Structure 1
Amino acid sequence: MYSYAATVEPWLEFASRRVAGNLTLNFSVAGGLELPACERATSINLHVGHLRLPPAGSFAALASLSIVGARMQGGDFEAVCSPRCPRLRRLAVRSVTLVGGAADVSVRSGSLEWLVFMAQGVGRLEVAAPRLRYFRAEAKAAAGDVSDVSVASPVLEDVAWYGEFDPRRHRFAEAGHRLRKLMVMDMPTAALMRRFYIVDELVLSFGISPGIRGYKTFLNATSMIAKCEVLEVQVTTRRHAFSSAVLHLLRKSVGVAKLLIRLPRMGNKSCTEGCPCSLTDSCNTDKIQLDSLKEVEILEFQGEFNQMKFINLLLDCQAPILKKVYVRIPKDVKSISNTKSKKIRSIIDGHPEIDVEFKLWS
């Protein structure tokens, strides 16, 4: 039986002794492929089916390593640890499956600054990187269990977490409570805002499950919002009232100077009867105090009446120093009817103290 690995590996061995810049491999080899040590390569990109990293040898010049779509052993990551990769600054692991049961992964590096780790089959992920600033992770265990994750970095400043965050099993040792940027990408991740509760830029990007239970879960998960200067909201509400959801987030927000909101397509379908998103008080703006808000940017405005209703509610909030609101219309919106144009004009005229700009966004 013909073996691609037997053909490829001699070429890899040849390349490992000569490549002094970028090495890219993009293919699948049955039975697995072992990457030889490449002392002179500065960047390696691997998109392979089965991969083994070498048990010995040095990657002395390697600064960036990307592994995508591979099946590999958790212990292989020891190959990217110091001192075998003394210059490694960026490590990206995406859509990787660890074989052999729940695997323990250890990434220890004195030079690593940027880490993306998205893998399945992880029993425990341990990261010890004193220079690590940028961290993205989704560590899935086998059979739907929750992985243990420990990250030790005193200079961590930019974090995004995908999937469930459990403070009992997911720990950030040595890091303070303040970040430059925090991205909450799933509803179960909202608990991360209790670990990092002061951030310069906060991104809330998740969906609210349908039904009363789904909305109550959203309310409970966001009962505390990290204090931030820039707040970006990308919430998919699914029949829930978008205005109610965003106004709830604003009630819980503190210190927001710039607000960026991406509008979904809202339509006219109503939520389940009795859902909290439908209560009259959910759209009451009287107690929403945005004392620090100076600028608002609204994206994906399609001219829907519910979108205009939301903008009007937002401008009714108590924001004494708000001076500029940008409303971006996507380029695929060919035209807006005269009726809607008049409604837009009434919104602008109704708030003369605020400069509201509707503009086509290319």
Structure 2
Amino acid sequence: MWCLYRIPHTRAKLPPLAPLWVLLPELHFSGETKPQSIRCALAAHEAPALHRLIVIVVNASTDSVASWLPVAARRLSGDLRFVNIASGRNDATTRNEAGPFDLPCFESASSIKLDLGLGWLGLALPPSGVFSCLTNLYLRHVQLYGPCRLGDVVSSPRCPVLRRLAVRDAWGLGNLTIHSKSVLQMELNSLYDLQQLTVVAPALQELTVSSCFDNVCRSSQPVVNISAPQLVMLRWSDAFNPSSVELGNVAHLESLDTSYFLVYGPDEVASNASCLMMLSQFKAIHHLNLNLAYMPDIFSNDRYLIEDMTRLPGVTFLSLLMMANGHSFGATLFHVLRMCTGVRKLALEYLEPFQPQTVCPSGCICEQLPNWKTEELVLGGLQEVEIVELTGTEHEAAFVQQLFRWATVVKKMTVSFREGFVCS
């Protein structure tokens, strides 16, 4: 924001002008800015309000952050973004050697985004105060210290207007309990020691839970209780068992994303079991997103696990994310589609392989399922097809050709190709 000042035409001696930056509503600090310089700049700032503060530093220490953050809390009335670009190793021997820094209560901030970097700076939350204007809170790469818990801070008594909450790559959250009347969107991703999760959020519409319960060996199952009667979108890429995960009333749910499903593999695949148990909770859903993956190498004793998927909810919009790793996948998609014959829209996206693309070896068991090309399938309601990241392989061409035999009333077809694709 720029302001134009009209200086009157006079020969009188004018007082010295303050630097223009002290009047600006936004301050950005980056690179090698010293923490004392940030503190001094905030103290010298003279604008009526500081609407945005962005600080991007390298290898910040606990003391360096603590030197300017309290001043920022008193001045800021808008957005705070702090990013620490850390080059240290991310392991238990290097995290938090200097202890945590205290996060002050930002009474007037509307958005706080903290990415403490792979150095895993420790963070202690304020035991008192109300974030009365905070609508957006984003935490990443944090080690949280007590005694104040994150759930206490983000619940309605201390964050009365919070709308969006995202926590990624965090330690120190063994028990997370959130009671929020205002939150609409919540993302919990890679909370490494989470054992108990309780969310009571009557206005919550979108919930993402990913890699919180399936990345650490545990002696007992985590306990999850979600009460969100207005939930319309659920992304659950995590361990799921209805005996320990209570979703409550989700009668308004319209969209569901599940954990990935491994097409070939050994008998026991945890993510497959979680996916199937999650799908069994719903009779019908508008938009279902399935993630199907082939490992680069399929062995002769691997089982065709997709056959364990015997039913799907009634679906009108089906999204399939396919990571084929060079293998034939037509039979797998045929198996899925014959459980969704009422689908009206199909979106198929080809994901990047785990490793550089290789040719499926001759005699691979993925080619031993030919019936999908001859069995009858009628997709009489399918009107729209979208294919993303097409690469032009023979397996892709075979499936697309067969798809148009099954779906004869398609009205709209959208295809996008992966970068570097050359049509021959």
Query: How many correspondences in the alignment?
Result: 325
Using the TM superposition, give the Cα deviation of residue 249 of structure 1 relative to its aligned residue in structure 2, in angstroms: 0.7
Aligned counterpart in structure 2 of residue 269 of structure 1, from 331, 337, 361? 361
Q: C-alpha distance in 1, partners of 2:160/2:412?
A: 48
Q: TM-score, structure 1 length as denominator?
A: 0.82
Q: Say whether residues 1:12 and 2:69 are aligned partners.
A: yes
The match for 2:332 is 245
The 5 Å alignment of 1:94-243 reads 94-98=168-172, 103-118=174-189, 119-138=191-210, 139-140=212-213, 143-145=216-218, 146-176=221-251, 179-187=253-261, 188=271, 189-190=274-275, 191-209=277-295, 210-211=298-299, 215-220=303-308, 222-238=309-325, 240-243=327-330
Q: Say whether residues 1:24 and 2:81 are aligned partners.
A: yes
Amino acid aligned to 1:115: M
CA contact (8 A) 2:122 2:145 kept: no
**Alignment deviations for residues 304-357 of structure 1 (CA, whole Å, 9 cap, x no partner):** 22221111111121x3422333333334223x23xxxxxxxxxxxxxxxxxxxx
Using the TM superposition, give the Cα deviation of residue 39 of structure 1 relative to its aligned residue in structure 2, in angstroms: 0.6
Using the TM superposition, give the Cα deviation of residue 237 of structure 1 relative to its aligned residue in structure 2, in angstroms: 3.2
Q: C-alpha distance in 2, partners of 1:203/1:312?
A: 23
Cα separation, partners in 2 of 1:46 and 1:81, compared to 1, 3 Å: same
Q: C-alpha distance in 1, partners of 2:300/2:142?
A: 41
Using the TM superposition, give the Cα deviation of residue 262 of structure 1 relative to its aligned residue in structure 2, in angstroms: 2.0
3-state SS, counterpart of residue 390 of structure 2: coil
Q: C-alpha distance in 2, partners of 1:125/1:73?
A: 18
Aligned counterpart in structure 1 of residue 151 of structure 2, from 73, 77, 99? 77
Cα separation, partners in 2 of 1:34 and 1:219, compared to 1, 3 Å: farther
Amino acid aligned to 2:234: V
CA contact (8 A) 2:214 2:238 kept: no
The match for 2:368 is 278
Amino acid aligned to 2:143: R
Q: C-alpha distance in 2, partners of 1:97/1:298?
A: 39
The match for 1:342 is none
Q: TM-score, structure 2 length as denominator?
A: 0.70
Q: Say whether residues 1:302 and 2:302 are aligned partners.
A: no
CA contact (8 A) 2:290 2:320 kept: yes
Once the two structures are overlaid, the 10-residue window that deviates more, 32-41 or 192-201, is: 192-201
Aligned counterpart in structure 1 of residue 404 of structure 2, from 295, 315, 325? 315
Q: Say whether residues 1:86 and 2:143 are aligned partners.
A: no
Cα separation, partners in 2 of 1:148 and 1:272, compared to 1, 3 Å: farther
3-state SS, counterpart of residue 111 of structure 1: coil
Q: C-alpha distance in 2, partners of 1:125/1:165?
A: 13
Q: C-alpha distance in 1, partners of 2:165/2:339?
A: 36
3-state SS, counterpart of residue 175 of structure 2: strand
The match for 2:104 is 36
Q: C-alpha distance in 1, partners of 2:61/2:400?
A: 59
CA contact (8 A) 1:179 1:198 kept: no
CA contact (8 A) 2:255 2:285 kept: yes
Q: C-alpha distance in 2, partners of 1:141/1:54?
A: 30
3-state SS, counterpart of residue 259 of structure 1: strand
Using the TM superposition, give the Cα deviation of residue 223 of structure 1 relative to its aligned residue in structure 2, in angstroms: 1.8
CA contact (8 A) 1:55 1:76 kept: no
Amino acid aligned to 1:58: V
Q: C-alpha distance in 1, partners of 2:112/2:304?
A: 46
Q: Quick check: which one's helix share is greater?
A: 1
Q: C-alpha distance in 1, partners of 2:279/2:145?
A: 33
Amino acid aligned to 1:313: Q
Q: Say whether residues 1:68 and 2:158 are aligned partners.
A: no
Which 5+ residue runs of structure 2 have no aligned equivalent?
1-59, 87-95, 262-270, 352-356
- Say which one has the larger Rg: 2
Moved runs in structure 1, 4+ residues, more than 6 A?
none
CA contact (8 A) 1:259 1:296 kept: yes
CA RMSD of aligned residues (A): 2.5
